[in-house]
Chain A
Amino acid sequence: MGNRKVIAIMLLEIRNLTVRYRRSGDDWDRPAVSGLWVAVEQGEKLAVVGESGAGKTTIAHAVMGILPPMTRVEGEIVYRGQRIDSRMPEGIRGKEIVLIPQNAYNSLNPVLPAGTQLEDLQAEDGVPSPLRRQQLRSMLQRVRLTDPDAVLASFPHQLSGGMKQRVLLAMGLLREPRLIIADEPTKGLDPVRRLGVLELLKDLLAQKQQSLMLITHDIRAAVFLCDTVVMMYRGELVEKLPVSRLYEYSSHPYTIALLNASPQRGLQAGQNAGNGISTGGRGCSYVACCSQSVPVCGQERPVWREIYPGHLVRCHVVA
């Protein structure tokens, strides 16, 4: 993190975002994301960390404008000073902001060859057909697929999980986006391939001044790839801190619990027993599972406090 810019240019700003999914008729679920503020600077690598169900994917889908139709969205999403939440302007989705989707196994169209699906993106950008193959070959080599022509001719079911993930990476990076939203890019891969994809992503991003929003439940992936981490619990952010402070200075009880939880043992931070303090929906969202809670946690919503430059916590207990 040597060369911090003097003036931070905000690439993406999410302002007070609340997303609710409709269950049926007028029956709405509790917000999947509530009152969320996040900003990504030009060139910043930000990780959104939380367990499944925390609302991480909802953020990604809200930014891309691909939430299901029966969804209520409040707040603003601003990309380079332009609002993109109500109407996505031309040429941003898939070009300036790309999503590397979560489910590698089902994110490629099963009835079209990988090459066709990549070429359709080039066609969107008006790349003339004679140039397409060559560009794709070098792109696939960049994501370390050793036999690009075979991959281009293959249907998705002929590719392994790791290869599909690399094709999706290639699809994301092909159009030189400014912001990459990677939604659990290593989901479903074994530990060796997971590391391979993370190292690849790191190398690819190091070459360009691209911004990354990494969505993950794996703190190690966040530490490996990003410089800032935001912790998310049940639709709300609870802590934001530089990666360099994560292991030693993280303060929110949830962050600490998640750091101590071992994924190998299947332990989930959110399942700790709380101190029996109940909340009427007004208090801290983590109170029911927090081991350090005090009575005020059940009554008042904690506010953000900056405990160190760039390190913000939302907790009553942290002094």
Chain B
Amino acid sequence: MGSYIARRTLAAAISLAGVSLMTFLLVFLVPGDPAEMVAQARFGHGVVEWEIEMVRRTEGLDRPLAVQYLKWVSHLLQLDLGHSLINRQPVMSLICSRLPATLLLACSSLLLSLLAGVPAGVIAAVKKGTRLDSVLRIIALAGVSVPGFWLSYLLIIVFALKLKLLPVGGYGTLANLVMPSVVLAAGMAGLTARLLRASLLEVLQQDYIRAAVANGLSNSKILWKYALKNALLPVVTVIGLRVGMLLSGTVIIESIYGWPGLGKLMLDSIYTRDFPVVQGCVLVSAACFILLNTCVELIYAWLDPRIRWGTGR
């Protein structure tokens, strides 16, 4: 188990190094001269040639890329992501001010989706072929297929404008959290329920389940102890990926509800061409994603001992 964790951590570190290089190059890949962008932000529009040259010198943009990258990484290791071009604030503090909102939204929608999706999937599988199964499957399908922005506006119209139960948008109270969480959870819950149902139905046909039935174990023990752990593997993969996306900020939903998360910060800084902030957001999102994938792999190992000891099926 120890060596497994070490291997996964090493893989994560390598991915992170790759991500840092890609993020660094981002600035040079977008059209336009970075020095000009900085100068424009600093001196206003209509900058002249010598101002751009001055920025190029002072910011070290005339040095070879490799040197610039190493310098950037050394700053990065000290958690210095540079300063915003717009308001001169350190990028790190900007991101840190937005991260709690994103984390809160991600956690609440994950929790909500599991609370709805897991029981729905289990019930649908156990009651396969009944009317309850059909109803649950249709709801799940709807959850997966309905676009988030459409559901957002629908909820706003019904609960905020017509019934006046919830605020249209904003951040701060529990009431603000409800609608964006529900919208984000809907898709995930639907996906969880559908995947879990399919996976559980397959597991329930396995020889070891039949053997457990023949051994006279109770139905609930067979379902929750013998079947569910096996059935969760594919579900964990997909949930992990979805939560990774949530952590990197959900641009559209955060914009609709005016939710001050990472996604909104990234979108705003793309509009203002504030590239250090964009870089920072991309880097943090990617880091979250990698962290989460590593977590998923550790959960795998906990669920399936065959992975832990490095022997395939």
Contacts and interface: CB of A to CB of B under 8 A. Distances in A.
A158 interface: yes
Contact of B207 (A91, A95, A103): A103
Nearest to B205: A68
Nearest to A181: B214
Contact of B230 (A111, A120, A157): A111
A174 B303 CA distance: 27
Which of A109, A155, A158 has the most B CB atoms < 10 Å from its CB? A109
B305 interface: yes
User: Which secondary structure dominates chain A's binding surface?
Assistant: loop
Interface in B195-251: 206-208, 210-218, 221, 225-226, 229-230
A101 B305 contact: no
Contacts of B229: 111-112
A92 B214 CA distance: 10
Contacts of A111: 229-230, 303-305
A222 interface: no
Interface string B279-313: 00000000000000000000000011110010100
A120 B229 CA distance: 16
B221 A110 contact: no
B307 to A, nearest CB: 10
Contacts of B217: 94, 120-121, 124
Contact of A110 (B212, B213, B216, B304): B304
Most buried by A among B208, B217, B221, B225: B208
Nearest to B226: A109
Contacts of A66: 210, 213-214
A106 B226 CA distance: 13
A91 B221 CA distance: 16
A93 B206 CA distance: 19
B215 A106 contact: no
A157 B311 contact: yes
A152 interface: no
Contacts of A171: 215
Given A93-B216, A94-B216, A98-B214, A110 B207 contact: no
Interface in A87-110: 91-95, 98-99, 101-103, 106-110
Contacts of A101: 207, 210-211, 214
Question: Which 4 A-B residue pairings sit nearest by Cβ, starting from the closest?
Answer: A94-B216, A94-B215, A106-B207, A155-B305
Interface of A: 64, 66, 91-95, 98-99, 101-103, 106-113, 120-121, 124, 155, 157-158, 168, 171
10 contacts: A66-B210, A93-B213, A99-B214, A101-B214, A106-B208, A108-B208, A111-B303, A120-B215, A120-B221, A124-B216
Interface of B: 206-208, 210-218, 221, 225-226, 229-230, 303-306, 309, 311
Given A94-B214, A110-B305, 10 more contacts: A101-B207, A101-B210, A102-B207, A106-B207, A107-B211, A112-B226, A120-B215, A120-B217, A124-B216, A157-B311
